[in-house]
Chain A
Amino acid sequence: DIQLTQSPSSMSASLGDRVSLTCQSSQGIGNYLSWYQHKPGKPPKPMIYYATNLADGVPSRFSGSRSGSDYSLTISSLESEDIAIYYCLQYDEYPYTFGAGTKLELK
């Protein structure tokens, strides 16, 4: 199975900060990677798909990038509503696998 390693596991940042989260794949998955924002009591919300594409309704302060087997989710200027756990998902092949998540908190 493909393993996704997210880093850091948690981080704290201030409002307005630029934040970058990373997801590393154990094998090649091309661009078949998506990012999800998960808040308590709600279903996960897709943020980025195909590594770099913004999902519907997602603010432009979010972006996705890829360098080899490393994928990143960047928030250009952190807002309070961005506080959540973020998961990456590979959908290159079944079993689809999620990373363990990065918990983003306010400093």
Chain B
Amino acid sequence: EVQLVESGGGLVQPGRSLKLSCVASGFTFSNYGMNWIRQAPGKGLEWVAYISSGSSFIHYAGAVKGRFTISRDNAKNTLYLQMTSLRSEDTALYFCARRGAAISTSYFDYWGQGVIVTVSS
């Protein structure tokens, strides 16, 4: 059974940093691209960042480029999101999600339960 479990969320002051983790199980993590997606309170879904299976390709949403860093450790089956210079508008529920392997199935096929990040003084 595919499982994705996020951790590392919490309350943080504006301008500070936070690092999220997502531990994967039930599939060969090193074969799949991974993503972070977030949902601010009362808002819709927003894609945040992508990393390819071997970390060769990385993409960011404009709203987080230069502040967030996505990375992965395939030996530990773990995906990360290092968030710096946090702003109140980064307050959201953060999901990690697997990208399907084939081109036609490269949508988000499995999601974690999400972790809450609150940026407030």
A and B are interacting partners: yes
Residues of chain A whose beta carbon lies under 8 Å from any beta carbon of chain B: 1, 31-32, 34, 36, 38, 42-44, 46, 49-50, 53, 55, 85, 87, 89, 91, 94-101
Flag the segment in B17-25, B69-77, B108-116 that touches A: B108-116
Residues of chain B whose beta carbon lies under 8 Å from any beta carbon of chain A: 35, 44-47, 50, 59-62, 95, 97, 99-100, 104-109, 111-114
Prevailing SS type, chain B contact patch: strand
* CB < 8 Å neighbour of A95 from B62, B104, B112: B62
State whether B107 touches A91 (Cβ < 8 A): yes
In the complex, given contacts A95-B47, A99-B44, what are 17 additional A-B residue pairs having Cβ atoms less than 8 angstroms apart? A32-B106, A34-B107, A36-B108, A43-B97, A43-B114, A44-B45, A44-B95, A44-B111, A46-B108, A49-B100, A49-B105, A87-B44, A95-B59, A95-B61, A96-B47, A97-B47, A100-B44
Q: How far is the CA of A87 from the CA of B39 in the complex (A)?
A: 12
* CB < 8 Å neighbour of B44 from A1, A91, A101: A101
State whether B104 touches A31 (Cβ < 8 A): yes
In the assembled complex, which residues on chain B have CB atoms less than 8 Å from the CB atom of A55? 109
Tell me the minimal C-beta distance from B1 to chain A in angstroms: 12
State whether B59 touches A94 (Cβ < 8 A): yes
User: Can you list 30 A-B pairs, Cβ within 8 angstroms, ordered by A?
Assistant: A32-B104, A32-B107, A34-B107, A34-B108, A36-B108, A38-B45, A43-B111, A43-B112, A43-B113, A43-B114, A44-B95, A46-B109, A49-B105, A55-B109, A87-B44, A89-B47, A89-B107, A89-B108, A91-B99, A91-B106, A94-B50, A94-B59, A95-B47, A95-B60, A95-B61, A95-B62, A96-B47, A99-B44, A101-B44, A101-B45
